[in-house]
Structure 1
Amino acid sequence: MKPTIKIDFVSDVACPWCAVGLGNLNQAIAQLSDKANFEVHFRPFELNPKMPLGGQDAIEHLTEKYGLTVEQVQANQANIRAQALEAGFEFHPEGRKRVYNTFDAHRLLHWAGQEFGVEKQATLKKELLNTYFCLAVSLDDQENLIAAVTRSGLDKDRAQEVLQNNEFSKEVREEESTYTNAGISSVPSIILNDQYLLQGAQPPESFVNAFKELIQKS
């Protein structure tokens, strides 16, 4: 009987390295799917929880946040685009335009996991990352979130209810607190079997090596 490896993927849909890390994680899982079952749960983390409606220009935000020049930010973005492509995400060539609050996206991800299970939650996670980084459209516009829900094969009417009624706000806040209280301050952070922490956009081979160790221990 194959062992099951539980993976808590703590991340934000506005985090480009989270897209890279997720793509690499999926590549590693595909390599070892005959050796173990993998159960991936997406956990919420907001990079910009206080970002107001309308967001902020992405270049302006990144230069202010990291103390970089515009040229440095653009070089970093080109590097991330190249790594994202290897991981299976074709980022928009002009980059994301603005930085947004992502709380509504996290509420939808919680809903998907709660009512449809981890596989549908994973599908929605990928579509939300595509919405922001590949289509490069606004996360403040709920129509864009609903479009991601539709592409994921989920119930768009139910998703609209979730958004309009502020459902799962308490649950998402509690989960965010759980991980920040545990010391997680950057994403992606990947927790294996509730015990082992990997941080950053690890390459596929790092995940493969970690999984092999867990499989041997089981």
Structure 2
Amino acid sequence: MEIKYWSDIACPFCYIGSTRMKRALKEMNIYDETPLEFKSFQLDPTLPKTTKESMLDHFSKGHGMTKQQAKAQIEQISQMGASDGLKVDLLNAIPTNTEDAHRLIKLADSKNDDALTERVIDAFYQVYFSNGESIADHDVLTKAATEAGLDTEEVSSVLSDDKYLKEVRADEMEAQQLGIHAAPFFVINNKYGISGAQPYEVMLDALKKIETGAVK
């Protein structure tokens, strides 16, 4: 089985959905043998790399809600993450551009070490959802990426240039060509699609049916 999924570091449903997918693969004892390829998908590529806007203001404007409604939904999302053992402090997250984080994930990919790539992705999720730090801040990114196992000089080289931007854009173009307009979106064996942070049981059932050939 091969799985590729479009995801953004700033997307709580991507964080939750990928966690559920990995849990399902581990339940089936096929996690270690199943390639799980992260594909770049920016929820809002127009966001600036520096901002003073709070998540509450950003969320309420973006979803056409009052601040009270936005806060209630943000808290609901955070509780959803907690039910999967994740700290999703969305209220204190900083709404900034995620392009540089995606480029560093591509750097990790270039090492052909799945465990390294997973550590980098997880580190960036921690930055955004747990630490309340800017995922666009180069110092923050460098610290998280190097602690996850990337070389400091290589990280600095990527961040000082536009390296891996083509690869990020290629992922986004592929998503458009496939008609993918939201994340997370999982494509299994280049044939079956699962959209959104589906309940764990739904993901597990879908994977079992695909593995046994019950789904045509």
TM-score, reference length from structure 2 = 0.92
Post-superposition offset of 1:35: 8.8
Q: 1:34 to 1:26 in 2, by over 3 A?
A: closer
Q: 1:151 to 1:202 in 2, by over 3 A?
A: farther
SS at match of 1:197: strand
Q: How does 1:1-218 map to 2 (within 5 A)?
A: 5-33=1-29, 37-55=33-51, 56-92=53-89, 95-217=91-213
Post-superposition offset of 1:36: 8.0
SS at match of 1:132: helix
Letter in 2 for 1:169: L
Q: 1:35 to 1:172 in 2, by over 3 A?
A: closer
Post-superposition offset of 1:54: 1.1
Letter in 1 for 2:111: E
| Segment drifting more, 83-92 vs 9-18 | 83-92
Distance 1:202 1:156 in 2: 36
Unaligned 5+ residue runs, structure 1? Answer: none
Give the conservation status (yes or no) of the 8 Å contact 2:5–2:37: yes
Identical counterparts, % of pairs? 27
Q: Deviations over 1:141-198 (max 9, x none)?
A: 1111112212312222211111112211112111211112211111111111111111
Post-superposition offset of 1:40: 0.5
Post-superposition offset of 1:128: 0.6
Q: Deviations over 1:67-91 (max 9, x none)?
A: 1111111111111111112223212
Runs in 1 of length 4+ with deviation above 2 angstroms? 34-37, 94-98, 116-119
Give the conservation status (yes or no) of the 8 Å contact 2:88–2:129: yes
Give the conservation status (yes or no) of the 8 Å contact 2:8–2:42: yes
RMSD of aligned residue pairs (Cα, Å): 1.8
Post-superposition offset of 1:97: 4.0
